[in-house]
A and B are shown apart, each in its own frame.
Chain A
Amino acid sequence: MSQPLNKSTHPGHSPETFFRGKSHAELASEFNEDEARVSWHDGALWWIRQKRDKITKQIPEWEELREAASQIKSHLLSNLHDYLVQFESNLQKNGITVHWAANAEEHNNIVYSILKAKGITQMVKSKSMLTEECHLNEFLEERGISVVNSDLGEYIQQIDHEPPSHVVLPCIHKRKEEIGELFHEHLGTEKGLSDPTLLTRAARKHLREVFLTRRGALTGVNFAVAETGEFVVCTNEGNADMGAHLSEVHIASMGLEKLIPKKEHLSVFLRVLARSAIGTPITIYSSHYRKPRPGQEMHVILVDAGRSRQLGRVDFRDSLKCIKCGSCMNTCPVYRKGGGLSYHNTITGPIGAILAPNLDMKRHADLPFASTLCGSCSNVCPVKINIHDQLYKWRQVIVKEGYAPKSKAVAMRAMAETLSSPGFYQTAGKLGRWFLKNLPFALNNKWNPWFRHRDMPSPPPQSFSEWYSKNKGGNKK
């Protein structure tokens, strides 16, 4: 990226200093300055979408699987209280320590206290959007504990002081030459090296040393089974397992919504997850953690951080069904052309745009507007979240609450007044046609965002009502 974002020298990044309060439109237009990158980004994500289409068509019961996955999550959300209690009790039976965190700060403090009690000052972390959401790395680093992200894409984002731009493909917006430059600086690879295999080998060597020397490991959770008190972590790299099985302390952080009722339900979710995410039949590793290894401590932190509030929002609660496959991002025309970092939120893309307003409606008021409402996201979602309907509904809530982006609020008020007064509507139409014909530059200028990348149609000589009143007499004859 052409340095649009504020990359601090601090190893972490807070959203305030990184995005500097910029809107989705502002951040996306910065991403759009590099046309070649946008075209590549667009094509790379569409290619993944096509891989998803190809592999899902090989499963005749694909639509039934989506429906089952959606219904299991509906059932879960409607009994979440009881399943949480059941899960907690089974975790404890399995020798796992359970913690509850109402918010990000409490979560971070729990992680810190676990590590501190063991005298651990270095931790390795596998991919966890939740800990990104909680800004755990910055929190721990301020307290003298270093964290290394071990997922390759997240490692790359970490050394570049950027948040992930995609839940599954954290550095999809970067070109290999940029990654080569970062590795040259941080891992001492040869200057100009950009071959993906050689770069991956360099990271493998470095991160293996990290895995072998870290006493503390933190992983995310993909699915947590209430019935058995086990949790499943899915990776393609094997990084979660390398960290967890070599550690003295394994901490797993999960949002409340990661629960599923029964173990057999894993069959449905593991069939849809990787196929939806990257078009492969299953992630390489689907690891089922049930008990700590002898001599090891295992902790599960159950995090609310706005989830119970979202559960109470009738129109938006289904967003909690999300299994973080990223397919809505890969298919979204706005995401593909605007980039993930434009969403100024940990979870990006269409699903991020319906989760973020629950966390901070004012800051994320623009995100539900960053969509064409084409509905492609809802069509590919493996748990059938009505994403585009929720985007539309959030717009109404945001306008009603007074958080609409200013230009949108003014335009919508003007539109409402125009449409509710027939006389004004006709005058406005006449004026519009006159301006388009005689003074097009008065509308098509840099102050009118509608005209970026758009041309105006030539104006018709008259409106439909003018034509109708002129012709209705003639037709009667």
Chain B
Amino acid sequence: MNMTSREKILSEVLKNQPAAVPMPDISAFKGPAQDNVQEYMDTFVGIGGKVFAVDDIDSIKILIKEQFDTSLRMATTLTELADMLEMYSPQADPHSYENLELAVIKAHLAVAENGAVWLTESVMGQRIIPFICQHLAVIVDSSAIVPTMHEAYKKIGFGDYGFGVFIGGPSKTADIEQALVMGAHGPITMTVFILKEKI
């Protein structure tokens, strides 16, 4: 570390920063009273995702068989799905997931206003998993859907994680003539299962 640059920068900043301005209170921001599940489903379909409201884990298993090529590599951190999917190994080299077709992850929460789900590395297994897979499926409890980002950050709080991410749909780009293409580098599709019963 270059202490001289640190000292120089900090003293310039101190000299040049304006008189203290108070921090605004943002506690009044909150989402509308609404059906969060319906709002979430509408939003997520609108951004190019697939969403299913399901009653239990068995319905998810049936849908996975219908929606994905189960002959390819599929992995999860959910013991409930261990009978049909490979369990992640936290020790494995992240590069070894290069050929992962489907990842199934349980989200901590989801946000109705933008379709995003909140994942931390404890539910991902490995940080690379939700990015390197060709298709991403996320399970979220219907009771864990909040209206806006304000409620989301209240629930997350300080958080105990080394890495966390909001994911709001399949990887996408519109860099070539503004034509929307799904699957820029990450998953080509994203599916969310909204689970009525908690698991």
Q: Say whether A266 contacts B153, CB under 8 Å.
A: yes
Given contacts A75-B23, A241-B131, contact A268 B171 (CB under 8 A): no
- Nearest A residue to B161 via CB reads A290
Q: Say whether A236 contacts B26, CB under 8 Å.
A: no
CB under 8 Å from chain B, chain A span 110-156 = 110, 150-153, 156
Given contacts A100-B5, A290-B161, contact A176 B171 (CB under 8 A): no
> For the side of the interface on A, what is the size category?
35 or more
Please indicate the chain A residues that have their CB under 8 angstroms from the CB of B183 in the complex.
200-201, 204
CB under 8 Å from chain A, chain B span 37-80 = 43, 47
Please indicate the chain A residues that have their CB under 8 angstroms from the CB of B165 in the complex.
241, 285-288
Given contacts A100-B5, A264-B154, contact A152 B127 (CB under 8 A): no
Q: Say whether B5 contacts A291, CB under 8 Å.
A: no
A374 to chain B, nearest CB (A): 24
Please indicate the chain B residues that have their CB under 8 angstroms from the CB of A7 in the complex.
none
Given contacts A208-B185, A246-B128, contact A267 B167 (CB under 8 A): no
Among B131, B159, B167, the one with the most A-chain Cβ atoms within 10 Å of its Cβ is B131
Given contacts A237-B184, A312-B15, contact A285 B166 (CB under 8 A): yes
How far, in whole Å, are A110 and B6 apart by their CA atoms in the complex? 13
How far, in whole Å, are A317 and B115 apart by their CA atoms in the complex? 35
Interface-lining segment among B81-89, B137-145, B172-180, B191-199: B172-180
Q: Say whether A101 contacts B94, CB under 8 Å.
A: no
Q: Say whether A308 contacts B12, CB under 8 Å.
A: yes
> For the side of the interface on B, what is the size category?
35 or more
B33 to chain A, nearest CB (A): 13
Q: Say whether B148 contacts A293, CB under 8 Å.
A: no
Please indicate the chain A residues that have their CB under 8 angstroms from the CB of B164 in the complex.
287-288, 290
Q: Say whether A311 contacts B17, CB under 8 Å.
A: yes
Among B116, B172, B173, the one with the most A-chain Cβ atoms within 10 Å of its Cβ is B173
Please indicate the chain B residues that have their CB under 8 angstroms from the CB of A67 in the complex.
24
How far, in whole Å, are A48 and B154 apart by their CA atoms in the complex? 32
Please indicate the chain A residues that have their CB under 8 angstroms from the CB of B186 in the complex.
237-238, 241-242, 284-285
How far, in whole Å, are A264 and B155 apart by their CA atoms in the complex? 10
Q: Say whether B43 contacts A281, CB under 8 Å.
A: yes
Please indicate the chain B residues that have their CB under 8 angstroms from the CB of A199 in the complex.
176
Given contacts A236-B184, A237-B185, A286-B165, contact A212 B95 (CB under 8 A): yes
Q: Say whether B185 contacts A150, CB under 8 Å.
A: yes
Q: Say whether A101 contacts B5, CB under 8 Å.
A: yes
How far, in whole Å, are A228 and B156 apart by their CA atoms in the complex? 13
Q: Name the one of A77, A266, A283, A304 contacting B18, with C-beta atoms under 8 angstroms.
A: A77
Interface-lining segment among A79-87, A360-368, A416-424, A443-451: A79-87
Given contacts A44-B177, A236-B184, A237-B172, contact A312 B149 (CB under 8 A): no
Please indicate the chain B residues that have their CB under 8 angstroms from the CB of A312 in the complex.
12, 15-16
How far, in whole Å, are A74 and B18 apart by their CA atoms in the complex? 9
Q: Say whether A304 contacts B9, CB under 8 Å.
A: yes
Q: Name the one of B5, B179, B187 contacting A196, with C-beta atoms under 8 angstroms.
A: B179
How far, in whole Å, are A242 and B129 apart by their CA atoms in the complex? 10
Q: Name the one of A77, A200, A212, A246 contacting B17, with C-beta atoms under 8 angstroms.
A: A77
Please indicate the chain A residues that have their CB under 8 angstroms from the CB of B150 in the complex.
264, 267
Q: Name the one of B10, B47, B158 contacting A281, with C-beta atoms under 8 angstroms.
A: B47
How far, in whole Å, are A68 and B19 apart by their CA atoms in the complex? 19
Q: Name the one of B15, B16, B21 contacting A75, with C-beta atoms under 8 angstroms.
A: B21
- Nearest B residue to A59 via CB reads B113
Q: Say whether A267 contacts B24, CB under 8 Å.
A: no
Q: Say whether A236 contacts B95, CB under 8 Å.
A: no
- Nearest B residue to A169 via CB reads B175
B92-119 interface code vs A (CB 8 A; 1 in, 0 out): 0011001000000000000101111000
CB under 8 Å from chain B, chain A span 256-299 = 256, 261-268, 270-271, 278, 280-293
Please indicate the chain A residues that have their CB under 8 angstroms from the CB of B153 in the complex.
263-264, 266-267
Q: Name the one of A68, A211, A281 contacting B113, with C-beta atoms under 8 angstroms.
A: A281
Among A67, A196, A291, the one with the most B-chain Cβ atoms within 10 Å of its Cβ is A196
How far, in whole Å, are A228 and B153 apart by their CA atoms in the complex? 13
Given contacts A267-B152, A271-B149, contact A102 B8 (CB under 8 A): yes
Given contacts A237-B172, A308-B13, contact A196 B163 (CB under 8 A): no
Q: Say whether A176 contacts B175, CB under 8 Å.
A: no
Q: Say whether B176 contacts A176, CB under 8 Å.
A: yes
Please indicate the chain B residues that have their CB under 8 angstroms from the CB of A30 in the complex.
none
- Nearest B residue to A268 via CB reads B26
Q: Say whether B24 contacts A71, CB under 8 Å.
A: yes
A198 to chain B, nearest CB (A): 9
Please indicate the chain B residues that have their CB under 8 angstroms from the CB of A110 in the complex.
2
Please indicate the chain A residues that have their CB under 8 angstroms from the CB of B173 in the complex.
152-153, 200, 236-237
Q: Say whether B162 contacts A293, CB under 8 Å.
A: yes
Please indicate the chain B residues that have their CB under 8 angstroms from the CB of A261 in the complex.
23
A36-58 interface code vs B (CB 8 A; 1 in, 0 out): 00000000100110000000000
A64 CB–B CB distance under 8 Å: yes
A78 CB–B CB distance under 8 Å: yes
Q: Say whether B17 contacts A79, CB under 8 Å.
A: yes
A158 to chain B, nearest CB (A): 12
How far, in whole Å, are A271 and B170 apart by their CA atoms in the complex? 19
Q: Say whether B29 contacts A68, CB under 8 Å.
A: yes
Given contacts A102-B8, A196-B176, A317-B16, 4 further A-B contacts (CB under 8 A): A81-B17, A204-B185, A267-B149, A285-B166
Q: CB within 8 Å of A: which residues of B? A: 1-2, 5-6, 8-10, 12-24, 26, 29, 43, 47, 94-95, 98, 111, 113-116, 126-128, 131-132, 148-150, 152-154, 156, 158-159, 161-179, 181, 183-187
Q: Can you pick out 15 interface pairs between chain A and chain B where the beta carbons lie within 8 Å of each other?
A: A61-B29, A71-B24, A72-B23, A78-B19, A81-B17, A204-B183, A241-B128, A267-B29, A267-B149, A281-B47, A282-B116, A284-B171, A284-B172, A285-B167, A317-B18
Per CB-CB distance, the 10 closest pairs between chain A and chain B, nearest first, are A238-B186, A312-B16, A291-B162, A281-B114, A237-B184, A153-B175, A196-B179, A308-B12, A282-B114, A71-B24
